[in-house]
């Protein structure tokens, strides 16, 4: 097949003998690229016709995504095969062949990255479809796959660029000399890249131990924040008011923080109510039970009402109620406050907190008797008017 292809290219080049040799060779290479494009399109159409809903759909999506790098690599192979048939000089063919080799290595790395992304997305889609109700399991897989995928992208990119550079003779000689002095060079590179290496290693630890996952709710700097994205070196946190915190990934291994959804998204919300000592606790407890049981935000697991504390003026009533997530718990607590305040205002005004002042009349009278002589008696040496004739 290779000889037949070379014979065909030779015939194409000979058909342009009336042109300069360089121009004829360029046209022959263009014909090789055109043949590679035609072959790629034919193979793509054949693959896209594979029947089946699940497996066929994955093969079709994979083929569509890999179509561009596959066409470029096939064109490189065709042009590389056609180069010896051209009339270029030896030096030109050498430079062209080397350029095709570098481009082929880069395209192989690019195809590997695209393939890893397609496979990881397909895996996440399968997990989502199977375990949609298990939010913890889904977020666990999302965290592991995304962090490891980004680290694999970095590793494949470094290997691809390194392989492409090693095709140059000068770079190989420099690499050998650098390897010979690896002791000093490794120390210098390690010191320069310490923050990057620290975050990369922390990313691997995050993917394996998972103190945080995608869409976990954590408390950082006093703010509620959801884990929106985990990269190889930093984490993007989304605050409730749409602000974003960009935090180095190593921070989560070096500092304590609160993770409200580490094992489960369900939370117990607490509402404090301050009422007067005359408050009818039985009626208030019944009304709170009606409010919570009638709310669709309550998950039906935990509810209780207790007098948790008291001061000289009021009693502190603590209401606890569980919910499916932190945001649902927040909405449930707001609903409880609004409805119980309306109930106290309309039906139990005696339960509203108030301040008391006591006036003791006997003590006030004694103070008046003690103060009156002092007011009527003039101070010593004061002028009291003429004493008379």
What pLDDT digit, counting tens, does each position of 118-150 carry? 888 888 777 765 544 446 777 777 888 888 888
CB of 280 within 8 A of CB of 351? yes
What pLDDT digit, counting tens, does each position of 291-316 carry? 999 999 999 899 999 999 988 889 99
**Residues near 62 by beta carbon (within 8 Å), at least 6 away in sequence:** 115, 118, 122
- Specify the pLDDT at position 125: 78
135-165 vs 194-209: helix axis angle to the nearest 10? 140
What value, to the nearest 5°, has the Cα angle with vertex 82 and ends 77 and 88? 125
* Two structure tokens written together for 242: 């749409």
CB of 37 within 8 A of CB of 70? no
pLDDT surpasses 90 at 336:
yes
User: Strand 258-259 relative to strand 298-310: parallel, antiparallel, unpaired?
Assistant: unpaired
C-alpha–C-alpha distance, residues 13 and 37, integer Å: 19
pLDDT surpasses 70 at 117:
yes
- Specify the pLDDT at position 272: 94
pLDDT surpasses 70 at 186:
no
* pTM score over 0.75: no
- Specify the pLDDT at position 366: 52
C-alpha–C-alpha distance, residues 151 and 272, integer Å: 47
- Specify the pLDDT at position 341: 93
**Residues near 32 by beta carbon (within 8 Å), at least 6 away in sequence:** 9, 75, 78, 79, 81, 82
Average pLDDT over residues 218-247: 87
C-alpha–C-alpha distance, residues 314 and 355, integer Å: 9
CB of 101 within 8 A of CB of 167? yes
Q: Identify the bridge partners of residue 271 per DSSP, sorted by sequence position.
A: 319
Average pLDDT over residues 254-278: 87
Quick check: helix, strand or coil at residue 306? strand
What domains are defined for the chain?
1-129+136-167 (no CATH), 216-259 (no CATH), 267-348 (3.30.70.100)
pLDDT surpasses 50 at 201:
yes
DSSP string, 208-272: HH-SS-TT-EEEETTEEEEEEEE-SSEEEEEETTS-EEEEETTHHHHS--EETTSS-S-EEEEEE
Average pLDDT over residues 269-278: 92
What are the E-state strand segments in 311-379? 315-323
Chain position carrying tokens 């995050």: 206
Rounded to the nearest integer, the mean pLDDT of the chain is 78
What pLDDT digit, counting tens, does each position of 145-176 carry? 888 888 888 888 888 888 888 888 777 666 55
Quick check: helix, strand or coil at residue 150? helix
CB of 99 within 8 A of CB of 106? no
- Specify the pLDDT at position 274: 93
The helix or strand, by DSSP H or E, that contains position 11, with its residue range, turns out to be: helix 2-14
């Amino acid at each position: 097949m290779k000889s037949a292809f070379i014979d065909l290219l030779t015939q194409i080049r000979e058909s342009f003998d009336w042109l300069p040799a360089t121009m004829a060779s360029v046209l022959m290479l263009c014909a090789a690229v055109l043949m590679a494009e035609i072959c790629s399109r034919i193979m793509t159409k054949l693959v896209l016709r594979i029947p089946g809903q699940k497996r066929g759909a994955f093969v079709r999506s994979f083929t569509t995504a890999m179509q561009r790098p596959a066409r470029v690599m096939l064109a490189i192979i065709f042009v590389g095969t056609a180069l010896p048939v051209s009339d270029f000089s030896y030096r030109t063919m050498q430079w062209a062949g080397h350029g095709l080799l570098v481009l082929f290595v880069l395209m192989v790395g690019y195809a590997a990255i695209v393939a890893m992304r397609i496979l990881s997305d397909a895996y996440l889609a399968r997990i989502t479809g199977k375990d949609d109700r298990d939010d913890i399991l889904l977020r666990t897989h999302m965290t592991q796959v995304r962090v490891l995928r980004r680290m694999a992208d970095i590793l494949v990119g470094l290997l691809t660029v390194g392989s492409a550079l090693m095709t140059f003779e000068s770079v190989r000689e420099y690499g050998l000399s650098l390897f010979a002095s690896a002791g000093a060079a490794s120390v210098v590179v390690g010191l320069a890249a310490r923050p990057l290496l620290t975050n990369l290693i922390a990313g691997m630890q995050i993917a394996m131990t998972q103190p945080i996952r995608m869409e976990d709710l954590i408390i950082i700097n006093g703010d509620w924040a959801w884990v929106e994205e985990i990269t190889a070196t930093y984490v993007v946190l989304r605050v409730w008011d749409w602000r974003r915190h960009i935090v180095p990934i190593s921070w989560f291994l070096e500092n304590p923080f609160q993770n409200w959804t580490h094992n489960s998204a369900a939370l117990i919300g607490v509402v404090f109510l301050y009422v007067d000592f005359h408050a009818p606790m039985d009626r208030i407890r019944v009304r709170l039970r009606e409010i919570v049981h009638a709310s669709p935000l309550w998950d039906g697991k935990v509810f209780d009402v207790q007098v948790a504390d008291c001061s000289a003026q009021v009693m502190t009533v603590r209401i606890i109620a569980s919910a499916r997530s932190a945001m649902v718990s927040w909405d449930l607590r707001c609903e409880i406050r609004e409805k119980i305040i309306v109930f106290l205002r309309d039906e139990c005004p005696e339960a509203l907190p108030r301040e008391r002042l006591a006036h003791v009349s006997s003590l006030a009278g004694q103070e008046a008797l003690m103060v009156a002589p002092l007011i009527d008696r003039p101070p010593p040496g004061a002028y009291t008017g003429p004493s008379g004739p």
